[in-house]
Amino acid sequence: MRKTWLRDYIIKRLFYAVIIAWGILTITFVLVRVGPSSPADKYLSNLAARGEDPAQVTAAIEARYGLDKPIHEQYFNYIGNLVRGDWGWSFSTSMPVIELIKTHWIYSFQLILFSTILAALAGILIGIYSAVRQYSKTDYIATFFSFIGISIPNFWLGVMLILLFAVQLGLFKTYYDTSIPLFSLGNLKQLILPVVTLGTGMMAGYTRYTRSAMLDNLRKDFVRTARAKGLPETTVIGKHVFRNAVLPLVTIIMFDLGSIVFGGAYLTEIIFGIPGLGRISFNAIFADDYAVVVAVTLISAFLVLFINLATDIAYAYLDPRIRYD
Amino acid sequence: MKGRLKILLLLLASVCLLASACQPAKEVGGVFISGTSAGDAETLNWILAADSASFGYAGHTVDSLVTYDNEWRVQLRTAARDVEVSDDGLVYTVTIRDDLMWSDGSRVTAEDYVYTLESLMFSDWLNYPYKSDWQEEVGGEAVFVTPQVVDETTFTITRQTVYPEFIYTVRGLVPYPKYIAVKYEGDVEAFTQAPEFNNLTYTGNLGPYKFKEWLRNDKFVVERNPEYYLGKDTGAPYFGQYIVKLFGTSATAHAALEAGDITYTDIDPDKVSKFKKMEGINVYTVPTTGYLFLAYNLRDNGWEGLKIKEVRQALSLAISKGLIIEQVLYGFGEPAFSFIPRVSPCYVDEGIAKYGVEPLLDKEEAKGLLINAGYDKPLTLTLVTNAGNDERENIGYLVKEELGAIGIEVELKFVPWATLLRKYLMNKTPGTDEEPRYNNGAGAVSEEPWDLMVMGFSTNPLSPSGQDVFYSTKGGLNFFGYSNTQVDELFRRAKSEEALDEGARKELYAELSRVISEEQPVDFLAFQLANAAFQKKVKGIEPGINMGYNYHLWYFE
Amino acid sequence: MGETILKIRNLKTYFFTRRGIVKAVDSVSFDLVKGGCLCLVGESGCGKTVTALSILGLIDSPPGRIVGGEIFYDGTDLTKCSAERLRHIRGREIAMIFQDAQSALNPVFTIGNQIVEQIRLHLKVSQRGAKNRAISLLKEVGIPSPEEVASYYPHQLSGGMKQRAMIAMSLSCDPQLLIADEPTTAVDVTIKAQIIDILRQLKESRKMSIIFITHELGIVSEIGDRIVVMYAGRVAESAAVSELLKNPKHPYTSGLIKCLPDITKGRGRLKSIPGTVPSLDNLPGGCLFHPRCSRAMAICRKKQPPPVSVKRGHTVFCHLY
Amino acid sequence: MILILLAALWLLTLLLDIFVVERIFDPLGYLYIALGIVALLYVVWPLYTGRRLVQYYWQRVKRNRLAVVGLAFILFLILLALFGPLFTADPTAVNFEEKNIPPVGFSIEESVYSAETGQFITKTASGTWEHPLGTDNKGRDLLAMLVSGAGVSLQVGLLATGIAVALGTLIGVVSAYLGGKVDNILMRFTDIMMTFPFFLLLVFIVFIFGPSLAFIVLVIGLTGWTGVARLIRSEALSLRTREFILAAKALGASDGRIILAHLVPNVISLIVVIATLSIPGVILAEAALSFIGLGDPSVTSWGMILRAGQQSLDVTWWVAVVPGVMLFLTVLAFNFVGDGLRDAFDPRSNV
């Protein structure tokens, strides 16, 4: 069917995206600027050792960070540069922010990718099964474990996994080893614990949502029709019911990608020492390296925006009834 | 048949013996991984760096003029001869080696050094953080010293005032390549982002290692530099690669060492016994320049009693340094009585008032002193330190106990580092709108009131006079507001011509530490000992305060 | 009279719920001759639909289950035969049209898809062939520009169109027996008439047997030839349409007929049967209708009425006869 | 019943705050009072008026065994937080003589190296009933720390959720009721808030402005309302056209009155469910902050203990395990209860 309205919709959303981006930029900038801390703070002990006068050093550092200029000037330079696609220079790591992100995104990505895929696969399958077998023993077990899954604090889970499998049993390293090539079994192996850490919660969530979505649709009339057509049960469930249940699922999975992942992946990276965007931004925050903080915030925000948009578009194709204007 | 085999084996054995008899085989190769849970460096463009990690990273690829062994004996590096100081102590003549090369094959000349000083460090555009190292006060204003090229391999640095310890600054000098730097001269942004400097592509044969890779917040990798000027005869360095690996927590670093994933890391005091017991791991306990002290707030928003020397002495009398060392540092510390460590060439023992160890550890006497000073009623003091630093927090708890025993209630406050700096260290004169600094003069007070503060800094054993930032009236880091004319005077003299003579200088420092240890501006608690744990296979290590000085000669057996 | 295609013998379909057993269908029996059209009539909730679903074995269990009786289709007892066999009969030989096409069609597939799916499931046809067949079916049920409609989603069609599509789908494998479960309740009067026409034509053209389920006697005469009146899960009376409409025996039946608005009599006020259908989980003893029955006797309270054959092919379950 | 419990929860923790933590007159105290008034207006009073309905819901909730168990645990937790401190040691009392004691029933071998003699003294530490859950590397009693942590978590959970829910409800109801431009603007704003990476923002703000419990609570509350607003809005939209609202309008009630007196009370059941279900997230957020070292140093929270535990995982494993278990159970309990409530209020949902 024709979806010309969809194009207008996308344009509208992109327009919003710009506004939102500006909002985020400004908020982040203000936060950085009103904050009392100075990039020179962390040098104090070093200065003391050298018997330096902190006032001079602080001045020098802040001058290089451009903090000596008036605040509005800083703000406009900063916006201007971003508009020109210049993400700025990261002082705490001495490389262009964009380069920094280019080198580190993959570490976050692989983690998120594997976790999401595995969580989605397992969660959906279990969910379907326990929905079809509602009130059966398996259903109760699945439900209970999904409860545990969503309730277990993932950072604690990570620590426990390290304690058990790395410290006690010594099956894994206690840290992520970047000298292992990305595309190798070794890397897959060392991703196991992080992926479990990040994936458990998501999987549990997906299980619950799939189950409920399936249950909602299993009771619908068209299921009876499908059966009356003589379709085998697998087709009835797998095609007719699931195809309808997928709609809410898409939203939830996408939403997870946007939000939960950025909390969870963040902690997971810190716990396992994975040099992904989470760890980078974490260190950047503590180093007052606002260029990086802003970039990461923006990226994740845009990711969320993009994902929402993608969801809406996917929806428009998955559910012929939907229509935005 | 069997017999032949025996003989063969015998032969082999003897060969081996012979081999081992003549000097140990140092074949090149292997990867040395040094694990740390400290933060990452900020830049390889070290001239812009203010943090020590950055100098550490760059230091693998470029040598300074000289370095020191564990007994502070000068070890020549890029310098051909030790820096010569004219008798009047004003002219420093530096002679560099003639076999130093930049990566493009061009010679490293005196010109490069002078350029580095004049056009980079001294320039207004670059914002070199440590300018003041190269400044002297003439007629009330800070002016730069004057470097001068003499010939290809010689240059001089001329001062107008005498400062004996200036030589240590000179000896630490590291050059920037003029032929590259000129491209960026005057443009700080371009200079900051210059690829040559940020990837250390210019270092030629100046360091034992060449830059390979730096994965931020994860690892810094350098590989063997076959041209290394010190390696011509020895074949040094012997490691194929040297990697600095960063860990989130020291616990993970420890685990990595235990698993054999890394070659070296520093061990937390409480874990030392565990590692000492391990096969295949050597733990060297070495002195450091780091010292912990308990600062007394002598400013107007601290307990007024602290302004009285006897009261300070009383407190120091009551706090056992032995206890702190044993409980907090697990025995890995030495009691401190001034900012000059035992390992410093300037250290003198006699005449120092050793508060906090027998016999100057006496709670009764402490009480007596307090009463004499007129403080007999119970009082409460606030002790503050930065949260998340276990050592300092623990010391806080112990101080609370110790002072409790002499009837002083201590309230502990642990605050984040930034908060500590802003609200407790920095101070300004009330009512004025001056910029808060660490020392805004006598009238200034910190935003939040405090009485005691546990702090840790490190001192420079070669030029202790640098510590005047803390203890002289105008010292830029004198946040606790200590002021004593005698101390100021001693610091001044330690920096003046009368200190040109080693002996005289040492005597001045002896005097200084006597006064300080008796004055107790702060309660010096302990100098920390570090525990460096290596895999046993690493050879050639000389444990000591500067154990890394010959690390290019270390090798795997 | 041709041979019977469907023979139901005291079918019992119960639902086992938390509150107790619900006898949705209780010992129902009737026959359907090939090419005939049998109407199941009764107020809503009297077990018509459940009977239909029982035939196709679509009672969702738990809680429902066929506890007794036989359903002979072409001699095979559907209650006994394997789920697999039953699956092949569904849609292929016995097709069903559901009450509310709106919800009975899967909202996320196009009409075409849903028809093609069924065709390809049961017949060896190419995608292409199936498509054409679907389109011709849509044309057959009187849908204008079927090619387009085939690519439409249910929500894009009007109620009547949906119902036609529904019918087209059920016909797709030209079944022997078509069960139409109140196909006309969800649509308005004009459409209703059209749909009845379509069904009647199909019946003629395809020699198809139909079970037509409805709660309004009105349309029965237009399509049915036999009629079975159900009340609270039981058969009350069964006879040929003309016969039954002429002289209903069961008080309930006559009640229903009285309820019919008689156009000839101008505007007379609508009559209705006093009382309501008893809820299936606590049925009265004896004759289920006696609480509402104007001519109820003592016996009605005690004893279930046996089938009484008042005339050839006219059976009534009532103590009056 | 449930609602009464929530109110009781508030009151009890308030008491805890005043008498045990003695922090009534810091920001947290004021937050309590403010939320308390709101709770009285919209929780306790409706409860009182609608006793019979509550009874009915309570019957339904009781059917869900997990919910009851969860409820029991939460009660236990509150009592623990309230009266635990009276029986346990001072969680900040350091005793280096008794560091690294394992929980009862466990014992670890520790060999201590003395720098002077260069000798190892091997000693085995085993759990004592003096420290049922053992001690950390400062010799602090883990049980005591756990108890005070319970208090912190409950406070944060209730207060932050309270703020978020109150704010979300207001925004949701207002934008639903007024509709049009207001609705549009509010919802766009919600969008912006939603696109922010919540945790990153949290870390960022807390780092910049320094971690104090009250501040953390505020930040979580002020950033966490978006989801609530959305849900409440959609609910309120369906209410907007109901008769009683129209009647109220007809009687010339002001918008404010209609919103506060008619709309809000009618979404209360939804609010309660949302509140219960968002408490775990809030508790976890605070714990996570403390875990990465941005917790309020002046209070002992579970996240902080966990952090300490992680630092010395190889020796004092229990320090990492115990608080995590508590955290986990708490979250689980709230999820159970929330789920039970949801089913009770809305039989249709199967999540």
Q: What is the pLDDT along chain A (325 residues), one digit of tens a residue?
A: 456 777 888 888 888 778 878 887 888 788 777 777 777 887 887 888 788 888 888 888 888 777 778 888 888 888 888 888 888 888 889 999 999 999 999 999 999 999 999 999 999 999 999 988 888 888 999 989 999 999 999 999 999 999 899 888 888 888 899 888 888 898 999 999 999 999 999 999 999 989 988 988 888 888 888 888 888 888 888 888 888 888 888 877 887 777 666 678 888 998 999 999 888 888 888 888 888 888 888 888 888 888 888 888 888 777 777 776 5
Q: Of B341, B295, B320, B330, give the one whose Cα is nearest residue B478.
A: B295
User: Predicted confidence band at C234 (pLDDT cuts at 50, 70, 90)?
Assistant: confident
Which of C103, C109, C169 has the CB atom closest to A221's CB atom?
C103
Q: Do A16 and D188 touch (CB under 8 A)?
A: yes
CA-based nearest distance A148→chain D, Å? 7
pLDDT of residue D118: 67
Q: Of A263, B137, B478, give the one whose Cα is nearest residue D291.
A: A263
Cβ pair B33, B265 in contact under 8 A: no
Structure tokens at B550: 């010959």
* Cα–Cα distance, D150 to D171 (Å, whole number): 31
Q: Of D151, D150, D155, D154, give the one whose Cα is nearest residue D31.
A: D155
Q: Do A51 and B193 touch (CB under 8 A)?
A: no
Q: Do A23 and D349 touch (CB under 8 A)?
A: no
CB contact, 8 Å: B188 with chain A? yes
Q: Which residue has the tokens 């766009």?
A: D188
* Cα–Cα distance, A61 to A91 (Å, whole number): 10
Q: Which residues pair with C76 in a beta bridge?
A: C73
Q: Do D112 and B416 touch (CB under 8 A)?
A: no
Estimate the share of chain C in helix, then strand, then coil, as percent rounded to the nearest 5: 35, 25, 35
Helices D65-87 & D142-178, crossing angle to 10 degrees? Answer: 130
Cβ pair A46, B52 in contact under 8 A: yes
Q: Is the N-terminal amide bond of B237 cis, ω within 30° of 0?
A: yes
Average pLDDT over all residues of chain D: 81
> Which chain D residues touch B387 with a CB distance below 8 Å?
297
Average pLDDT (D82-87) is: 82
SS3 (DSSP) at C309:
strand
* Cα–Cα distance, C284 to D145 (Å, whole number): 68
pLDDT tens-digit readout, D158-215: 888 988 988 898 898 888 888 888 888 888 888 878 877 888 888 888 888 888 888 8
Least confident of A10-24, A86-100, B327-341, D64-78: A10-24
Helices D142-178 & D226-240, crossing angle to 10 degrees? Answer: 40
Q: Which residue has the tokens 């935005």?
A: A324
Q: Do A156 and D201 touch (CB under 8 A)?
A: no
What is the number of H-type helices and E-type strands within chain B? 18, 23
pLDDT of residue B18: 47
Average pLDDT over all residues of chain B: 90
Q: Do D310 and B419 touch (CB under 8 A)?
A: no
Q: Which of the pair, D9 or A91, is modelled with greater confidence?
A: A91
Cβ pair B298, B481 in contact under 8 A: yes
* Cα–Cα distance, B383 to B451 (Å, whole number): 6
User: Predicted confidence band at C1 (pLDDT cuts at 50, 70, 90)?
Assistant: very low
Q: Which residue has the tokens 């959305």?
A: D230
Which of A48, A174, A175 has the CB atom closest to B469's CB atom?
A48
CA-based nearest distance B386→chain D, Å? 9
Q: Do B132 and A52 touch (CB under 8 A)?
A: yes
* Cα–Cα distance, B45 to B519 (Å, whole number): 42
Least confident of B527-536, C57-66, C92-101, D298-307: C57-66
Q: Do C106 and A229 touch (CB under 8 A)?
A: no
CB contact, 8 Å: C90 with chain A? yes
pLDDT of residue D87: 83
Query: The sheet that has C4-17: what strands, in order across it?
Result: C20-33, C4-17, C64-73, C76-77
CA-based nearest distance D177→chain A, Å? 21
pLDDT tens-digit readout, B411-430: 999 998 888 998 999 999 99
Half-sphere exposure of C251 (CA within 13 A, CB side): 19
Average pLDDT over all residues of chain C: 80
User: Predicted confidence band at B366 (pLDDT cuts at 50, 70, 90)?
Assistant: very high
Half-sphere exposure of B30 (CA within 13 A, CB side): 20
pLDDT of residue D350: 43
pTM of the model: 0.86
Q: Is the pLDDT of residue D24 over 50?
A: no
Least confident of B143-147, B331-335, C315-319: C315-319
Q: Which residue has the tokens 């007196």?
A: D261
pLDDT of residue A248: 81
> Which chain C residues touch A243 with a CB distance below 8 Å?
106, 108-109
pLDDT of residue B480: 94
Best of C108, C111, C155, C166 to disrupt the A interface (most A CBs within 10 Å) is C108
Q: Which of the pair, B471 or C31, is modelled with greater confidence?
A: B471
CA-based nearest distance B414→chain D, Å? 6
